[in-house]
């Protein structure tokens, strides 16, 4: 017994180190699975408020360009609205809408890590929940991962764990959108069969298979493509429309039918 105590006392620093290392490795390895750890995310109250304060100071510097972007987008939407046939009033009944849109602002952004997360200043009190889609006026940004009462973290499309249904705009062939953690302005589209004709510059948009994003939200254009190892599918490099380094205003999109879709899919699976 004496010897055991002596041993512990002698190597107490090493034991402490190993203990702390196991804790941190535990948290790290846990994060390699689908969902981010609930302890380590910047949607928490403390982290959110630190970033909110810093955002409050720095946001003034690019107000002019942000305003210009928003006016451009308004113009686009006005054109759509004015060219719409018939009355638009009857369509604004919220019980009839398939998608509800909320706005938010990015208070923390990163794009240099293999797993990037973005923090926005909207949370549960604005009815933001996990697995809602986040888009900007130029294209998709990511999926809500964790929420607190006033903040939420977004799993960026620049994240190794990200996997989003996407399709070619003109042929409707769909595949999954992933990221290989190399450059922040390119993502990869895989699982498009080799029979599909591709042209550099083709537009990639979100597919209709996911219950997170609406169909036909812009993603990017084909920059380069070649066959994968098995020679039966294309590996496509997609240049993003979004400038991932400079994002401020975002929209959070939620599908009002998502619950029903998920429930139905679960039921179908369990009947197999």
Partner 1 sequence: MISNNYVINVIRFVLLVLVQVLVFNRLNFFGFINPMVYILFLYWYPIKQNRAAFIGLCFLLGLSIDFLSDTMAINTAATITIAYLRPIIMRFVFGVNYEFQNFKLGNATRVQQFAFLALLIVVHHLVFFTLEIFSFSNLLLILKKVFSTSTTTLVLCLLFSSLFSVKKE
Which residues within the stretch 180-199 sit at the binding site for partner 1 (CB under 8 A)? 181, 183-184
CA angle, 44 then 254 then 243, to 5°: 70
Contact 162, 116 (CB under 8 A): no
The contact pattern for partner 1, residues 247-266, with x = CB under 8 A and - = no contact, is --------------------
Q: Does 148 bind partner 1 (CB under 8 A)?
A: no
User: With respect to partner 1, which residue has the nearer C-beta, 246 or 265?
Assistant: 246
Interface segment toward partner 1; rule CB under 8 A; list 114-122, 131-139, 213-221, 225-233: 114-122
**Cα 242 from Cα 253, distance rounded (Å):** 17
Q: Does 119 bind partner 1 (CB under 8 A)?
A: yes
Place of tokens 């029903």: 260
Contact 192, 165 (CB under 8 A): no
Name, in order, each residue with C-beta under 8 angstroms of 167's C-beta and a sequence gap of 6 or more.
173, 174, 175, 204, 205, 206, 207, 208
| Residue 94 DSSP code | G
**Cα 151 from Cα 126, distance rounded (Å):** 9
Q: Which of 148, 153, 162, 211 binds partner 1 (CB under 8 A)?
A: 153
Q: What is the token pair recorded at 35?
A: 């969902």
Name, in order, each residue with C-beta under 8 angstroms of 147's C-beta and a sequence gap of 6 or more.
43, 123, 124, 128, 129, 130, 153
Number of residues that bind partner 1 (CB under 8 A): 43
Q: Does 46 bind partner 1 (CB under 8 A)?
A: yes
Which residues within the stretch 51-70 sit at the binding site for partner 1 (CB under 8 A)? 51, 54
Q: Does 211 bind partner 1 (CB under 8 A)?
A: no
State the minimum distance, in angstroms, from the CB of residue 93 to partner 1. 39
**SS3 call for 136:** coil
Q: Does 32 bind partner 1 (CB under 8 A)?
A: yes
Q: Does 25 bind partner 1 (CB under 8 A)?
A: yes
Q: Does 49 bind partner 1 (CB under 8 A)?
A: no
Q: Does 44 bind partner 1 (CB under 8 A)?
A: yes
Q: Does 245 bind partner 1 (CB under 8 A)?
A: yes
Interface segment toward partner 1; rule CB under 8 A; list 40-48, 76-84, 96-104, 124-132: 40-48
User: With respect to partner 1, which residue has the nearer C-beta, 50 or 190?
Assistant: 50
**Cα 118 from Cα 245, distance rounded (Å):** 11
Q: Give the containing element (helix H, strand E) for 240.
A: strand 233-240
Q: Which of 7, 8, 28, 75 binds partner 1 (CB under 8 A)?
A: 28
Q: Does 113 bind partner 1 (CB under 8 A)?
A: yes
**Cα 71 from Cα 73, distance rounded (Å):** 5
Torsion sign over Cα 246, 251, 252, 253: negative
Q: Does 101 bind partner 1 (CB under 8 A)?
A: no
Instruction: Give the binding site for partner 1 (CB under 8 A).
Output: 12-14, 16-17, 20-21, 23-28, 30-32, 36-37, 40-42, 44, 46-47, 50-51, 54, 108-117, 119, 153, 181, 183-184, 245
């Amino acid at each position: 017994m004496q010897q055991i105590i002596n041993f512990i006392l002698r190597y107490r620093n090493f034991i402490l180190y190993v203990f702390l290392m196991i804790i941190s490795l535990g948290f790290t390895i846990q994060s390699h699975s689908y969902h981010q750890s609930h302890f380590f995310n910047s949607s928490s109250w403390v982290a959110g408020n630190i970033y909110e304060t810093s955002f409050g100071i720095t946001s003034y510097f690019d107000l002019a360009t942000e305003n210009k972007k928003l006016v451009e987008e308004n113009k686009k939407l006005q054109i759509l609205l004015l060219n719409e046939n018939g009355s638009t009033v009857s369509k604004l009944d919220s019980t009839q809408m398939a998608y509800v849109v909320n706005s938010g602002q990015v208070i923390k952004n990163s794009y240099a890590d293999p797993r990037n997360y973005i923090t926005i200043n909207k949370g549960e009190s604005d009815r933001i929940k996990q697995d809602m889609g986040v888009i900007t006026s130029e294209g998709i940004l990511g999926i809500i991962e964790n929420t607190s009462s006033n903040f939420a973290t977004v799993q960026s499309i620049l994240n190794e764990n990200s996997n989003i249904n996407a399709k070619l705009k003109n042929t409707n062939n769909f595949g999954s959108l992933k990221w290989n953690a190399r450059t922040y302005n390119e993502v990869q589209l895989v699982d498009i069969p080799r029979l599909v004709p591709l042209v550099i510059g083709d537009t990639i948009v979100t597919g209709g298979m996911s219950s997170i994003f609406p169909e036909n939200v812009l993603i990017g254009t084909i920059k380069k493509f070649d066959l994968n190892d098995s020679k039966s599918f294309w590996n496509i490099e997609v240049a993003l429309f979004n400038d991932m380094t400079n994002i401020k205003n975002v929209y959070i999109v939620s599908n009002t039918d998502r619950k029903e879709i998920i429930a139905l899919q679960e039921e179908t699976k369990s009947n197999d």
